[in-house]
Amino acid sequence: MELDLIRRATRALCEAEGLDEVRRVLGALFARLGIDQYAFISVTGCVLKGSPVLVSNCDERWQAVYRSNGYQCVDPFMQRLRGCPLPFLWTELSSALLGSDALAFLSCARFHRIDTCQGATVPAHVRGEQLAALHVSQRIDSVGAREIGIRDAYLLSGLATTLHLRVGELSGTCGVLPLTCRERQCLLWASRGKSQADVALILGVSARTVRFHHENAMRKLDAVNIAAAVASAAALGQI
């Protein structure tokens, strides 16, 4: 049931026409999953000292504080991604190893009713100074809140990637170049399980030409392989 809910929400995100609709989709999903709060945060090298992209249902005062205090620079959950770009539970971070700025951040988060011992971070994009992640948590004052486990984090991995791409496109921060018609065709057939040789026969071109279009699409979508390029193109509505 959980996986089906997440799949439907992922498809809805691909069709969302604005950030308000993105928030509605996420709000409905996490309400069904029994998770109180979510926050998608995207940071690039050019905004480390500026304002991050932030889509969340957390207290608006907390969101304002996060932006105004430049918390993306000290947020220990975002910083953890640089060394370990895998989903993790917040309990995995040892307060004994955190600096004073990170500890102050956690204290401020708790003041705004975020249970920093009941949450998880799901990476969406980690490359150099570019970080994007979906964070989920319970409220401190939530009665009967269920425990968020590592299984939740891994189940949300695909949705987090789609969210990163869709929010980037809608907010104008994605920077993805449009695919050509032939690049879209090659990815579409790849999404249907066709090899490059198969696609070459279908399109009446050489396998080398198909590989050329696949590589161009991967470069434009910042994808490490064809499967990742297919996923990115689908999330952006390009196939």
The domain spans of the chain are: 2-171, 181-235
List per-block mean pLDDT (blocks of 10 residues) for the chain, which spans 239 residues. 91 90 96 97 64 91 92 92 89 88 95 96 78 95 91 94 86 70 91 92 92 91 83 74
Which structure tokens are listed for 89?
Answer: 């539970």
Which structure tokens are listed for 150?
Answer: 């590592």
**Of the candidates 160, 153, 163, which has an alpha carbon nearest to the alpha carbon of residue 35?**
153
The domain defined by 2-171 carries CATH number 3.30.450.80? yes
Which uninterrupted H or E stretch holds 89? strand 88-89
* 3-class state of residue 139 by DSSP: strand
3-state helix, strand and coil shares in percent for the chain, rounded to the nearest 5? 55, 15, 30
Strand arrangement, sheet containing 114-127: 53-56, 37-43, 130-139, 114-127, 88-89
Tell me, yes or no, if the two domains 2-171 and 181-235 fold the same way. no
pLDDT at 47: 45
**Of the candidates 108, 131, 106, 103, which has an alpha carbon nearest to the alpha carbon of residue 117?**
106
Longest CA span, the chain: 63
Of 1.20.200.10, 3.20.20.70, 1.10.10.10, 1.10.510.10, which CATH number belongs to 181-235? 1.10.10.10
Is the pTM above the cut of 0.85? no
Burial, 9: exposed, middle or buried (Cβ in 10 Å; 0-12, 13-18, 19+)?
Answer: buried
HSE, side-chain direction, 13 A CA sphere, residue 88: 17
DSSP code for 173: -
How many Å apart are CA 114 and CA 239, to the nearest integer? Answer: 38
Give 75-79 contacts, CB < 8 A, sequence gap 24+: 75/41, 75/102, 75/105, 76/102, 76/105, 76/106, 77/119, 77/121, 77/133, 77/135, 78/41, 78/43, 78/121, 78/131, 78/133
pLDDT at 49: 53
How many Å apart are CA 46 and CA 130, to the nearest integer? Answer: 9
DSSP code for 174: -
